[in-house]
Each structure stands twice: as C-alpha cells, then as structure tokens.
Structure 1
Amino acid sequence: MLIILFYFFIFIVFVQIAYYLGVFRSFAFAKAQKITSKRIPISVIVCAKNEEENVSKFIPILAAQDYPDFEIVLIDDASSDGTLDIFEEYEKQYSNIRLVKVANNEAFWGNKKYALTLGIKAAKKEYLLFTDADCFPTSKDWITAMSSQFTMQKTIVLGYGKYERISGSFLNKLIRFETLLTAVQYFSWAKIGRPYMGVGRNLAYKREEFFNANGFIEHMKVRSGDDDLFVNQVATKKNTTIVFAPESFTQSTAKTTFSDWLTQKRRHVATASHYKFADQLQLGTFYGSQLLFFILPIPLLIFQFQWIAVVSLIGVRYLVAWIMIGYSAGKLQEKGLKLWFPIVELVLIFTQLNIFIVNLFSKPASWK
C-alpha cells in the first residue's frame, strides 16, 4: 500500500510541476508591457446595488481619468439605500455620466446580468470597460492601459483586480493570495491560447462580442457569472488578450470577516461549475493535485517510507511553485505574499474543499 502511495505521490508532484512550469511560467516570465494610448471611444460601466458608501468615494476617481473620449454608465440595480440619489447628483455634476435606473423585475429579480444588459444597451461607445462599485482604478491612466491592448483581432481584454492591503490581517493575506493565484491561472491560460475566465472588477470587450453572443442569455438563469461565464463562453485564442501593466490595475475593498469572504467564494465556486467541461477539468486537476500533494505525504512520512525521496519531492515542488508565484506577485505588485506562500496555500486549499462540500448541499442565491 505504501509503495502505491509513493508512486502516486510522485505522479501528483509531476502534475503540480507541469502546471507551474508548463502553464504558469508563461505569465511569470512574461515581458513587461508597453502602454500606448489608442484613443478609442470607451464606455466605463459600473453596476451598483446598495453601494452608497462606495460610489460616493469611487465615482469621482473614475471621472478623473486622463482619457480623451469616455463616458461612465452608472447602473442602479433597484437599490434600497441612497445609491440612486448619489448617482443622480453625479449625473448633474459630470457631463459624461449616463444613468440607468433598473426597477425590480419579477422575472429577473436579483439578477445582475439583467441590470448590466440594460446598461450595455444604453452605452454609446464601441468599447466597454467594466468595474465594480466597490472598486477604483489605481492610476489615472487605467482606461488608457486597458484600452491599449485592443486590436482589430483582440476584442476581449482581461485585467487584474487586486484587493487592498490590510497590515497585520491574516485573512487579508489569504484573500490577496487567492486573488493572485486566480489571476496567475487565467492570465497564463490566456497567454497560451486557452482563455477561460475574467473578473468583472477589471474587464473590457467590444460591444459586438456581447451582441454576437446574444448577451448573457446562455447563462441568464445563473445568478452570477456576468464576467467569468461570459468570457468562458466567447473568449478564444484569436480574440482575447491580457494586460498586467501596473497602470491597468483596479483595487477593491477586501472583506474583513471570514464568513463574508466565504459567502463571496461560495458564489465564485458555484459559478465555476458552469464552465466548459475542459476548463472544469483543468481547474479540478490543479486543485485536486494541490490537495493530494498535502495529504499523500502524511502516511509516507509517518511510516518513514522513502522519506528522503518524499522530502526531496516536496522541496522541489515548493521551489518551483515559489519561483513562479514570486515572479507573478512581483508583476502584480502583491508585496509580501511570497513569504507567506506555504501557509496561505495550505489554508486556502482546505478552505476551498470546505466550500465545495457546502455548495453540494446549498447554492448561493443572488449577487448581492
């Protein structure tokens, strides 16, 4: 039995190294990007539901972007707080703000995709740039950076949405590491020609991509997924590119309680179950091999079976993973995370296992 476990462990280490060296290396060692303004017309789209505190802080930052031709489409998704009132004040203050008011609709209640569809239809520019109501660009050149990667062929641009850094918070390190690892995955797969997701905190595409796909109709019944499910549906090697220049980043307010973050991640994991089968398989293989990498050595080390070889394999895998994560963290300006890598990775893996089990018995209900 120990012999079987040993050889299976070797296989699992091989799978992990294959992911880090065969896939994630494509992003970790990617050359720095040059940002050149293309001055194409951009509609920045923000959908908000009960976000009065965030929109009062972040909309002025959006309006202050240094870009010659853009509008901001603010979508109020039937908020019950003061979000709509704030939007109306901004509409009076800024000439390039367009307001879309979404009333409660029984057929699409709580469905962000319905609200976004109305906003996209109201947008007047050919290129759409999406962010969330609790996000803000980290640079005045955000629109310039995101739009710089559009070409005649590349009509979908995947960006990076980071989370604020909270000093002394282990939960914050966990959230930021999970965000970093997710970005490494979708950036790397996109670079090798297999794009499978993007994040609505920082995503851009041409209007024609939305209408050619009949909008969100293919997955309208899934409450979430206006970003990753849409990208999973329409993104290809030919039409998708990435941007990771620091000017292109957005930053979001991070959750401060473990329960709030778990609720958010449960929604993300539930959405991923609707990806194409090949994408589910590659994600499942990676996370499954991560989990087994931690479980299989336990009986081997307890019984000291080929323990030198086992420890060596663990060390090689950690070295390879650490290098790839370290270089990627540097590109995405996630300082300090590589030092916490062994700990946060272990906690994240078993947290994800718990989320997967809980989601088998109940599904998250709505986007807010």
Structure 2
Amino acid sequence: MIVLNALFYTFITVVIIQLLYYSIFSQFILLNHYPQKQKNIAVSVLVCAKNEAKNLKEFIPLILDQDYPSFELVLINDCSNDETLAVMKSFQATNNNIKIVDVKPIEAFWGNKKYALTLGIKASSNNFLLFTDADCKPLSKNWIKEMSSHFTNKKRIVLGYGAYRKGKGFLNKLIRFETLLTAIQCFSYAKIGMPYMAVGRNLAYRKETFFEARGFMNHMNVRSGDDDLFVNQIADATNTTICISKDSFTESIPKHSLSEWITQKKRHVSTAKYYKLKHKLILGLFYVSQILFWILSLILLMALFNWKIVLGLILVRFIVQYIIIGMSAKKLNEKDLLIFLPVVELFLIVSQMAIFISNNTSKHNRWK
C-alpha cells in the first residue's frame, strides 16, 4: 500500500508536469501568421547534396521556379560518386543564377557535411541565406518570399517548417508525428524566447551571423548538427523568429524502412548531448515525464488503486494533448495524424529509448 501511495502521488506530479509542458506548447496555437511586407532582398539558396542525382532532377526546377526577383542557387556537391555533379552542371548551363561548389575529399573533414556547407556559404554572393536539403522541395512558389520576409535588423535567424511527404503505412505516420511534435516544441520554445534548434530542411540566417559565430567551429568534430547545434549555439530571444505561413513549408521524402529511419534518427539524436544545459534539462524532463506517465498509468490501473482518480487524470492529460496537438496539426497540415496519436506516441517513446541506448554504445561518423 505504501508503494502504491508513493506511485500514485508520483503519477499526480507527472501529470502536472505534462500539463505544464502542454501549456508551453499551446504557445504555438496562439502563434498567428501575420503577412510580412515583401523586402525583395537578395537571397542565396543553398542545397548540399551527396549522391542525390535523382532528387536534384526533381526538386531543382521547383526552386528555380520561385516567384522571387533576386536569388541565386548555390549547389554544393559533397564528394558524390553518382551523377550529382553532372545534374548540377546541366541546370547551370541553362540558368545563370546557379553557382556550383564542388567539394573534394579532404582527410581532416572527410564525410563532414559542415565542411561542405562552409565552402558553400563562403561562395554565396548574398548576405541572406536560405537552406534546404537535396531531397526536399518547397510547397509553393512563394517559399523564398515568405521566409526572407521575416528578416529584420534584429531578426537574423528564421525557423521554418520542414514536413515529410504523406504516404501509406505506420512508418510514415510515425515519421510525420515525430516531425510534428518536434516542430511544436521548437516553435513554442522560440515563441517564449528560448529557441533551441532548427531543421536544415527549412532554415534561414544571415551570412554575417554565421561568420560572427565562427561558423561550425565550436562543433566541427560532431558529424551532425549543422542545423540544430548551430542554432542552439547562436539563437536567442532577440535574434530568432518563426515563419509558419503554409506557403513557406517544404516537404521531404521520408525513409521507406524502419531501419533507415532509425539510422537517420540515431544521427539526429546524437547531437542533443551537445545542447546547452538548460535545453537538455527541459527536453529531458519532458521525455522522462512521458515515460513515467505511461508506466505509472498502467501500474495503477492494473492495481485498481484510486482508479477513478487515475483514469480521470489520464483523460485530462489526453484531452489537453489532443487539443494542443490537434490545433497545431491543423496549422501544419498534419490533421490525419490525430487518430493515431496514442499509438505513435507510445511507439516513439520506445524507439527513442532504443536509439538513445544504441547511441551510447556505438559511433557514427558520416552524414551519408
């Protein structure tokens, strides 16, 4: 009885913590998109590609077709061994706003995307930089216009939403739910003045800001993190803003197998331990409270200990979660994920734990 009492009060504490977190996430719901005045600033769009010939053929035309008066497209070939460079040159032959940076293997930086990106940034002609991936496409012709319109004298970093293409199967729902939850957290914390990460599929910042921060030098030895670690290093309440206009969204091709997705997530998760301490504590507490919520719910319900109160708290937590995530999903065009919410949440918790354990027992050195 003493143990169950302790678990019961721990459960109440966990539910309160969860509700406090979802109150923070509600900031994303309150975040409105106010049309920004078009600035027509010169923008450099950077795409770093490693063995992405097929995707480049499909997605480069969508970038070149942007409704924006002044932009260059910097294509970075990161030591590819397929037709990536040839594809880049074929587009350059018919478009005078394309610049190619052909990165050669250097032993000290072999397999390091940050080195390739640094060369691309140095080669770019403009101070305003917009990044996306080679397997990623803008969902409208106004992508550059929307993202660049959020730059101001103070706002030097613009966080955008990078979605994954909708498809069939549970894995697709899992990938998109994890992306949705990450975006809700990322944007909510940025809204309250605590930006901590970004995704390179849709991110913009000033070139001068990059060099003022010494680029990626503080974490060049970490193979991943050209997006989240860099933003974690330099972003604050005054220099960071958010763009959530649907015209600003990008869309990537999700992994087609669970093993591929896990490999990708292992690389992404490996950077979290380099975040600032306050961010690690905040993110870690949320994850731990998620685990405890599920475990304690199961134990207390199976023991029928104060089951009416326990069930009531479970329902309150799920109702709040559905409201916050539901309204956020509507903003980000991900409403179809709601019916899978409890299942994908539980599976994501378990998979993240497995990835965390795996990352502490193995090393990953290359971005491709």
What's the TM-score once normalised by structure 1's chain length? 0.98
What aligned pairs does 1:100-249 form with structure 2 within 5 A after superposition?
100-167=101-168, 169-249=169-249
- Alpha-carbon distance in structure 2 between the residues aligned to 1:33 and 1:205: 20
Structure 1 segment 1-368 matched on structure 2, within 5 A:
1-21=3-23, 23-167=24-168, 169-368=169-368
Q: Give the deviation of 1:33 after TM superposition.
A: 2.8
CA distance in 2, matches of 1:32, 1:67: 20
SS in structure 1 opposite 2:93? helix
Letter in 1 for 2:355: I
Amino acid at match of 2:201: R
> Which deviates more from structure 2 when the two are superposed, residues 127-136 or residues 32-41?
32-41
Deviation at 1:343, TM superposition (A): 1.2
Q: Matched residues in 2 for 1:75 and 1:214: separation?
A: 20
1:46-74 superposed Cα distances (whole Å, 9 cap, x missing partner): 00000011011101111110000100000
Kindly state the Cα deviation for residue 35 of structure 1 after the two structures are TM-superposed. 4.0
Deviation (angstroms), 1:360: 1.2
- Which string of whole-angstrom CA distances, capped at 9 and with x for unpartnered residues, describes residues 207-234 of structure 1? 1110000110000000010000000000
SS of the aligned residue for 2:75 comes to: strand
Q: Distance in 2 between matches of 1:287 and 1:320?
A: 17
What is the RMSD computed on CA atoms of the aligned residues? Answer: 0.8
Q: CA deviation at 1:357?
A: 1.0
Distance 1:262 1:350 in 2: 12
Task: Tell me if the contact between 1:35 and 1:245 (Cα under 8 Å) persists in the aligned partners.
Answer: no
The Cα of 1:335 is off from its aligned counterpart by: 2.7
CA distance in 1, matches of 2:321, 2:301: 22
The code of the aligned residue for 1:321 comes to: Q
1:20-46 CA-to-partner distances (Å, cap 9, x unmatched) read 01x101102222331432101100000
Q: Could you tell me whether the CA contact under 8 Å between 2:139 and 2:249 is conserved in 1?
A: yes
Alpha-carbon offset, residue 250 of structure 1: 0.3
Q: One-letter code of the match for 2:103?
A: V
**TM-score, normalization by structure 2:** 0.98
* Separation in structure 2 between the aligned mates of residue 257 and residue 165 of structure 1, nearest angstrom: 15
Q: Which amino acid counterpart does residue 252 of structure 1 have in structure 2?
A: S
Q: Which runs of 5+ in 2 are unaligned?
A: none
Q: Is the 8 A contact 1:135 1:253 kept in 2?
A: yes
SS for the counterpart of 1:290 is: helix
Q: Distance in 2 between matches of 1:272 and 1:317?
A: 27
Supply the AA of the counterpart residue of 1:99: I
The 3-state SS of whatever aligns with 2:335 is: coil
C-alpha distance in structure 2 between counterparts of 1:183 and 1:61, whole Å: 24
Distance in 1 separating the partners of 2:102 and 2:316 = 55
Query: Residues of 1 paired with 2:301 and 2:187: CA distance?
Result: 36
Amino acid at match of 1:15: I
Equivalent position SS for 1:356 = helix
CA distances 1:233-276 after superposition (whole Å, capped 9, x unpaired): 00010000000110000000011100000000111111111111
CA contact (8 A) 1:270 1:363 kept: no
Say which is worse superposed, 332-341 or 154-163, in terms of deviation: 332-341
| CA shift digits 1:292-347 (9 cap, x unpaired) | 11001222112111011110010000001110000100111113111211111111
Asked if the contact 2:76–2:117 (Cα under 8 Å) also holds between the matched residues in 1, the reply is: yes
2:41–2:70 contact (8 Å) kept in structure 1: yes
Check the 8 A contact 2:128/2:205 in 1, yes or no.
yes
The CA distance in 1 between the partners of 2:231 and 2:33, in whole Å, is: 24
Partner Cα separation in structure 2 for residue 364 and residue 33 of structure 1? 41
Q: Could you tell me whether the CA contact under 8 Å between 1:36 and 1:145 is conserved in 2? A: no
> Distance in 1 between the 2:335 and 2:290 partners?
23
Deviation at 1:365, TM superposition (A): 2.1
Q: Give yes or no for contact 1:20–1:320 (8 Å, CA) kept in 2.
A: yes
State the distance in 2 between where 1:49 and 1:248 align. 25
CA distance in 2, matches of 1:247, 1:36: 15
* Displacement after TM superposition at 1:364 (Å): 2.2
Percent identity between the aligned chains?
A: 56
Q: Is contact 2:159–2:241 with CA below 8 Å preserved after alignment?
A: yes
Could you tell me whether the CA contact under 8 Å between 2:130 and 2:204 is conserved in 1?
Answer: yes
The number of residues matched between the two structures is 366
